[in-house]
Every structure is written in C-alpha cells, then in structure tokens.
Amino acid sequence: MSNVFFFDTYALIEIYKGNQNYEKYKGKVKMLITGLNILEYVYFLLREKRESEIEEAFSNLSRYMVKYDKEIIINTAKMKHKYSKEKLSFIDCIGYLVALRYKAKFLTGDEKFKDKENVEFVK
C-alpha cells in the first residue's frame, strides 16, 4: 500500500461516518486534500446539522491542504471534457490530477473512479 493518499471528499465523509473500510487510512498514511474538499466537507456538515463542528474540522483538515496551479486547472477542464458522459465533478477532477502530481493514490468510493488508474477504490 502506498503511504501517500489524496482523500476525496467521499473518503472524508465515510471516515466521519465510521465506515470500517476506511479504518486502515486513518492516521496511518500521509493525507492530501485541497481547499475545495474542505468546502465540500463543510457543506456536508451543514447538511448533517453539525455546524458546531465546522471550525474544528477546518482546523484539522487544513493541515493537509495542498495547492494546485494553472496546469492542474487546464487539465481539469480537459479531463472533465474527456469524461463528459461520466459527469465527473470539477472538484473530483482537480483532486485526481493533484493526486497524480504528488504521486499519491486517489482514495475514493465514487463509482465513477472505480476503474481509473491510480485510484484506491474503497466502498
């Protein structure tokens, strides 16, 4: 198992929910995310009526945040266009490409990524 993973928001939410399939990734691997994943996670907390947890979650997750550049943005548009029938989100495409840039596995349970290269698919 690689030691560096880009945690898709799907993975973050499953960990929050206590999905045992993600247990082996908690605190045992190097985690990468973008600010956009934090955005989606905060939105999840709001939907779950967990607004009181937002500040702590942001503080904890922001330590793992990595930046991306023009190349990632342009390649995100190309990836979304290439897989337009699969209706991938921009945020997922950014995460996938950031994972490649940092030589990390893209950790997700999103079925749209199940058969893509460099993906650690966990339901």
Give the residue extent of every domain in the chain: 4-121
The pLDDT confidence band at residue 107, using thresholds 50, 70 and 90, is: very high
Q: What is the dotted CATH code of the domain comprising 4-121?
A: 3.40.50.1010
The predicted model gives 101-112 an average pLDDT of 97
pTM (2 decimals)?
Answer: 0.94
Q: Is the pLDDT of residue 20 over 60?
A: yes
pLDDT in tens, 50-103: 999 999 999 999 999 999 999 999 999 999 999 999 999 999 999 999 999 999
Cα–Cα distance for residue pair 122/111, rounded to 1 Å = 9
Alpha helices in the chain (DSSP H): 9-16, 35-47, 54-62, 70-82, 90-101
Full strand arrangement of the beta sheet holding 119-121: 30-32, 4-7, 105-108, 119-121
Q: Which of 93, 99, 61 is nearest to 76 (CA)?
A: 93
Per-residue confidence band for 28, with pLDDT thresholds at 50, 70 and 90: confident
Please tell me the predicted confidence (pLDDT) of residue 1. 56
